[in-house]
């Protein structure tokens, strides 16, 4: 249920209503909108709720949340959420640009890439230190050593660090170095991991599983939100279809659809979404044109030498050129894309 507070409700009234929700054995999420505050009461006690809240001071009305996902729903918060993490801003007219290699390979590689993507207008650095690889024989990442290199790159450039965490037991370690915890496509439905990142003070980039529906993605986000972490970004990174010319199929309509259903920002990953460097620039531009809240792009100083996903990584000049096109389109549609350079 959503308890919609009156515009003039005081902080005390809001707190009192939230406490009353908790007393009923429900979870209270207080969501401050620009217009008014609502309390999402999560649990299954509809009728008692309506009766016991209609007369509480400061309450305007009590309405059911119809969507299966609750805190993520636009019914609860009609205005878009802006997620901030260090230099990265994603949502509400700000299109964040996260760029960097698939994997952190060496300090030189990550620092060189960080400097180049920053100069081109990126607002965050990506790079995997814990890699979820299809084969156990493929490079698995530099782990904590890689996290330290990412922290060095942040010191040198000021760029926020986005990096993947693959297991619940690594969350504290990765959170020590990262500004944004990435939950990879393969882990979208690892519910214990989602709960764990829901309990740390780090923004989360949640990638869609290649065979997950949009509702399943939103319910996965709900696991994180329900633990109290409100800084969640959704990421469309392509789904598996019968088409084999691209690595995955990148459905850009996900952005528009999600904007109608959720207040959470939506990031597009054209690198995994296409699997071919030659297709990535146009998909970045298209994502910006339709109002995506962010793009996450694999960029490598020497894609041919990359230890993972080189075939879908842009080289540094191509990324810079792509950013120019993205900025031009962003200007045309009235949003901001990346940093001004």
For Mn ion, the binding residues (CB under 5 A) are 102, 309
The alpha helices in the chain, defined as continuous H runs, are 11-23, 46-53, 107-120, 144-157, 171-177, 191-198, 214-225, 253-261, 270-274, 280-289, 316-333
Give me the 73-102 binding string for ligand PEP, x by CB under 6 A, dash otherwise.
Answer: -----------------------------x
Identity of the residue, 80 or 210, whose beta carbon is nearer to ligand PEP in the bound complex: 210
Alpha carbon of residue 245 to chain centroid:
27
CB contact at 8 A, 301 and 119 = no
Token pair in block for residue 255: 């952005």
- Minimum CB separation from Mn ion for residue 287, in Å? 17
Identity of the residue, 91 or 128, whose beta carbon is nearer to ligand PEP in the bound complex: 128
- Minimum CB separation from Mn ion for residue 164, in Å? 9
Closest C-alpha among 336, 286, 328 to residue 123:
336
Closest C-alpha among 206, 124, 199 to residue 165:
206
Binding residue (CB under 6 A) for ligand PEP from 128, 265, 270, 294:
128
| Secondary structure element (H or E) that encloses residue 123, with its range | none
- Listed ranges 13-21, 77-85, 181-189, 322-330: which one lies at the site for ligand PEP (CB under 6 A): 181-189
- Minimum CB separation from Mn ion for residue 10, in Å? 49
Judged by CB under 6 A, the chain residues 255 through 284 that form the site for ligand PEP are 272
- Minimum CB separation from ligand PEP for residue 201, in Å? 22
- Listed ranges 31-39, 40-48, 112-120, 184-192: which one lies at the site for ligand PEP (CB under 6 A): 184-192
Identity of the residue, 6 or 186, whose beta carbon is nearer to ligand PEP in the bound complex: 186
Angstrom distance (rounded) from CA 198 to CA 230: 8
CB contact at 8 A, 34 and 77 = no
Identity of the residue, 196 or 309, whose beta carbon is nearer to Mn ion in the bound complex: 309
Angstrom distance (rounded) from CA 150 to CA 89: 19
B/e letters for 50-69, b = 16+ CB within 10 Å, e = fewer, are eeebeebebbeebeebebeb
Distances in Å between the Cα of 277 and the Cα atoms of 20, 21, 239 are: 54, 51, 18
- Listed ranges 67-75, 170-178, 180-188, 322-330: which one lies at the site for ligand PEP (CB under 6 A): 180-188
- Minimum CB separation from ligand PEP for residue 135, in Å? 13
Closest C-alpha among 325, 269, 319, 267 to residue 294:
267
Cβ-closest position to ligand PEP:
184
Distances in Å between the Cα of 155 and the Cα atoms of 96, 101, 147, 163, 268 are: 19, 18, 13, 16, 26
Identity of the residue, 38 or 147, whose beta carbon is nearer to ligand PEP in the bound complex: 147
- Does 154 contact ligand PEP by CB under 6 A? no
Dihedral over Cα of 78, 332, 273, 304: its sign = negative
- The partner in contact with residue 273, picked from Mn ion, ligand PEP, none with C-beta cut-offs of 5 to 8 angstroms by kind, is none
- Listed ranges 57-65, 79-87, 183-191, 250-258: which one lies at the site for ligand PEP (CB under 6 A): 183-191
Binding residue (CB under 6 A) for ligand PEP from 91, 100, 184, 303:
184
- The partner in contact with residue 184, picked from Mn ion, ligand PEP, none with C-beta cut-offs of 5 to 8 angstroms by kind, is ligand PEP
Size of the site for ligand PEP (CB under 6 A): 9
Cβ-closest position to Mn ion:
102
Interacting residue ranges for ligand PEP, rule: CB under 6 A: 102, 128, 132, 184-186, 207, 237, 272
């Amino acid at each position: 249920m959503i308890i919609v507070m009156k515009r003039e409700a005081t902080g005390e009234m809001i707190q009192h209503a939230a406490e009353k929700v908790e007393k009923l054995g429900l979870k209270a999420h207080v969501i401050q909108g620009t217009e008014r505050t609502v309390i999402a009461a999560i649990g299954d006690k509809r009728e008692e709720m309506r009766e016991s809240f209609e007369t509480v001071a400061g309450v305007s009305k009590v309405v059911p949340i119809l969507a299966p996902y609750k805190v993520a729903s636009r019914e609860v918060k009609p205005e878009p959420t802006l997620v901030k993490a260090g230099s990265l801003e994603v949502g509400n007219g700000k299109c964040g640009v996260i760029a960097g290699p698939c994997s952190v390979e060496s300090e030189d590689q990550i620092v060189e890439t960080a400097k180049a993507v920053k100069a081109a207008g990126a607002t965050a650095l990506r790079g995997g230190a814990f890699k979820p690889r299809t084969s156990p024989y493929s490079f698995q990442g530099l782990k904590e050593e890689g996290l330290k290199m990412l922290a060095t790159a942040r010191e040198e450039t000021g760029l926020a660090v986005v990096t993947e965490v693959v297991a619940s037991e690594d969350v504290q370690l990765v959170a020590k170095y990262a500004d944004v915890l990435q939950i990879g496509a393969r882990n979208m439905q690892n519910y214990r991991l989602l709960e764990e990142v829901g309990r740390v003070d780090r923004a989360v980039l949640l990638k869609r599983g290649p065979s997950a529906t949009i509702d399943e993605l939103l319910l996965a986000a709900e696991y994180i939100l329900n633990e109290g972490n409100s800084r969640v970004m959704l990421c469309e990174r392509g789904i598996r279809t019968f088409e084999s010319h691209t690595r995955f199929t990148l459905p850009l309509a996900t952005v528009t659809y999600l904007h109608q259903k959720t207040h959470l920002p939506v990031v597009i990953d054209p690198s995994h979404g296409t699997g071919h460097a030659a297709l990535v620039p146009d998909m970045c531009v298209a994502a910006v044109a339709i109002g995506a809240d962010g793009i996450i792009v694999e960029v490598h100083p020497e894609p041919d030498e990359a230890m993972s996903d080189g075939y879908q990584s842009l080289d540094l000049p191509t990324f810079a050129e792509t950013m120019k096109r993205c900025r031009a389109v962003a200007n045309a549609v009235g949003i901001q894309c990346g940093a001004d350079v």
